[in-house]
Structures are given as structure tokens and as C-alpha cells.
Structure 1
Amino acid sequence: MFCCCVADEKGENSIALPPVIPEQDQQDLQASEKAFVKTTPAMQPEEAATRMLDIFTVILRQKDGPHGLQIDGTDPDCALVRAIKDGAVAEWNKITMKNRVKVFDRIVEVNGTKGQAPDLVKALAADSESTSITIQRPSERQVKLQKPGEIGVILNYKKVGSAAPWISNINAGLLSQWNQERPEHAVQTHDRIVAVNGAKGAPEELMLKMKEATSTLDLSILHYAVDPPA
């Protein structure tokens, strides 16, 4: 790099200055830089939404037997994997490292069929040489609420079939305030509460712990997108 050193009359100090470029050379340099500027096309909203969600496809083979999934359909709009037994999904998990099916994954589509949980369960039971399942993996969010105050949430579950209580409505209260103040960590309806103050358990146990909490309420919540893109 070319530098100019300028000293004062006593020769005590020197200052490194940037190179002096003639005006014509500056114009040529700017034109050259513009020629090498590369722009990245903006993502379409659908593409951006897809990248934010962890969605993948599983292909099951009929020769590997029944799918072996136990489905939590207690929230009709959000069919979840409650358990994985021996079968085609277990075999799939053996041969793949990246897209293994896990408990609490959401089933979005089966062989082109979308809809509510009963529709997806029916599609899973259909006889087919191969079954394509679109899966959405939830993101776990840590929500910290400080009592006293109303939580402002309505939870739902069934004693038989629910893997965890799910949020059916959010009213005015601590949770809605959390969502307003931290939109990047917001939770919504259909999300599942899987731990309360570090403790896991059956749905009724988690709801009891929420009621008994008198100060800090730390919630581990699995967050799903209500309408993930196809």
C-alpha cells in the first residue's frame, strides 16, 4: 500500500495518510467497483416463511410394515406424534440421520391430504405402496412469567390421548404481555406446554404446577406454526 508520511518542522511526529488518487482514477475505480457488485434477490414471503420453519418429508415403504405412529389428535387442528412404535417410521429413523421423526412432531400432510387430525389419521391408515408424510418440528421457547397476576391462558387436554396440554386461547394477562414485549419469543394457540419450572409430567400435573406457582413461572413451550406452507 502506498503511504505518504508527513513530518512537522521539528521532525518529531509522522502521520500515515491514505494514498492520494487522482480524480480520473477515482472515477475509474468507482466504475470498476460497481461492475463487481452482486445483489441477492429478495426472498418471497413464502420462501422466507419456509426457511423459518423446520419442515421435512418422510417417505415410508409398505414393505416396512404399519407406520407405527400413535397420534395425539386431541387438538383437531394440530395432529402430533405421541409415540413411535415398531414399524415403518422406526425403520425410517434407522436409515436417516437428519430428518428423524420425534415425539411432538406435527403431521402437516399425508400423501397430499391436509386438514384436521382425523383426516390425517385416515390418510395414514390408507393402503399404499409408499406414504409421504410432511412433518413440522416445533421450536422450544422458554417463557418466564412473574406472578402475581393472571396468566391469561386457557389450556386444554384429554386424560387419554394428550401428550401435553395445549393453548386453546390467550386472553389479557401475563402471557399476552410477554408476547407483546418479546414478539420474537411469542407463543400462540395450539402450542404445547411440556415443562413447568423445570418439571415435566402428565398434562394434569403440569396444569396443577401452574396453579400452585406463587412467584416465578418458567414454562417450556413447543411452538408450532398454525398454517405452515406446503
Structure 2
Amino acid sequence: MLMCACCEETGRDNHQALFCDPQFPYEDVVSARKNDPAHSIQVKVKYQPGNLGVDLDAIDINRGLVVKAVLPDGQLAEWNKINPDSAIRPYDKIFKVNGKVGTVQELESFIVSSSPDLHLEFRRPQRFEAKLRRPGSLGVRLHYKKSSMGVLVSEVLEDGLATVWNINNPTRVIAAGDRILEVNGEALSPEEMVEKLSLEEEVSLLVLHYNQDPIPIRGI
């Protein structure tokens, strides 16, 4: 089986000025089952430094900041009350700030330095189940931290079950930047999911697909 998994034990995983790090409830995983196509959501607020009120996962350096939780006292919570049809929820991803793209560090910097008008563009993922059955390698590289929202797919290799799935399911493609939230119906810790993926002959994955390319790497 070819399934490379990388776990970061230490390192910066979120922006402390914007959010804390509460545990997100399992019902948020359940709500992620709805199979809508990936789409963008526009949010505009008068930014109050330090009061955006969101907990973010920054593990995918080149593809944006994934929402872990909208905190009850903050500007995004207020936005959600006023704009229920475009409310921000867990697993949405900030990929553009004030019209600018960048690495997660750059996006965080754009938010902190924004005043007074803050325009955030979120990406809401498509949710689907992918069923992979051995023999054969999964053909993916995975990345996570202990506090990650699921397990990040950092690369889909040319040879493997994931590529075979993609060929047979062009509307439900597994791609770099996607998140795996469940394995065989279980919402586990990232470490437990990776272990289960390495052992099971048949796996059903709950996948979040953002349909988004990474930002171009800038030359030096």
C-alpha cells in the first residue's frame, strides 16, 4: 500500500489573535454529509481588530484557512445572525481576503491589517462518499496535526485506487487540498483515521472537496 502520512507534532496551527482552539462537536461532522457542489460565499464586515471570532485550521499552507468553529461572541457570529442564507459554518475555507490570495500566513496578515472594510471570500466544499477497495495502493499522501480538521490530502499520485476512483467518478473527484472526515462511517482522530486507512481492505471515505487550485508559488 502506498499511503504516505505526515504528522506535525509542533508548529503554528492557528492565528492566536483571531481565535482560540475549542473542540468542534461531532454534529458538525454529521452536517458535512450534505452533497452540495463547491461554491463561494462573500462576507463583508467592518473589521474590529481581534474580534472576528473564528477558530481556523491553517495546515494547508497554499490553499486557505479552514473554519473549525465560529465563536459565539464575534463579528462572524453577528454576520451569521443577520445573513442566515450565507452563514459561515465549520469546514468553510477562507481563500481570499480583500481580493488578495496568498499563503495562510499572508491571509492571516491581510485580515489583521484590514481596516475598516474586510471582504472575505469563503469556499464551501462539496461533500461526498468515496469507496475504495483493495487490492492496490490508495495512492495518496496525507498530512495532519493533532488539532487538524480531519486529514488533509496533500497529493493524489498517478497510480493508486484514488486515481481509479477519480476516473470512474468525474463529478466526485478526490484532489489535493481535500479533507477526509470519516473512515467507514467513523469520525476519528487524524491518527486513528490514518491507522484505519492502512489496515482496512475496503474503505468508505467522507470527503470534503473544495474544487480549488493552490496559489502559484512565487519565484525568489
TM bin, normalised by shorter chain, reads 0.7 to 0.9
User: Unpaired runs of 5+ in structure 2?
Assistant: 1-36, 215-220
- Judge conservation of contact 1:71–1:80 (CA < 8 Å) in 2: yes
| 2:60 alignment partner, one of 60, 75, 89 | 75
- Judge conservation of contact 1:113–1:119 (CA < 8 Å) in 2: no
Larger radius of gyration: 1
Q: Which position in structure 2 is the counterpart of 1:95?
A: 82
- Judge conservation of contact 1:64–1:91 (CA < 8 Å) in 2: no
Change beyond 3 A, Cα 1:183–1:199? same
How far, CA to CA, are the matches of 1:211 and 1:107 in structure 2? 31
- Residue-by-residue CA offset, 1:136-158 (whole Å, 9 max, x unaligned): 10001210111232111110012
**In the alignment, residue 57 of structure 2 is paired with which amino acid?**
D
Q: Which position in structure 1 is the counterpart of 2:197?
A: 210
Change beyond 3 A, Cα 1:82–1:175? same
- Judge conservation of contact 1:71–1:121 (CA < 8 Å) in 2: no
How far, CA to CA, are the matches of 2:49 and 2:103 in structure 1? 26
| 1:130 alignment partner, one of 113, 117, 139 | 117
Count of residues in Structure 1 that have an aligned counterpart in Structure 2: 175
Change beyond 3 A, Cα 1:203–1:128? same
Identical counterparts, % of pairs: 33
Higher relative contact order (Cα pairs below 8 Å, separated by 6+ residues): 2
| 2:140 alignment partner, one of 153, 172, 188 | 153
- Judge conservation of contact 1:141–1:222 (CA < 8 Å) in 2: yes
> Greater helix percent: which structure?
1
How far, CA to CA, are the matches of 2:103 and 2:211 in structure 1? 14
Query: What TM-score do the two structures reach when normalised by structure 2?
Result: 0.74
Does residue 1:56 correspond to 2:41, yes or no? yes
| 1:186 alignment partner, one of 173, 193, 196 | 173
Change beyond 3 A, Cα 1:217–1:89? same
Change beyond 3 A, Cα 1:84–1:124? same
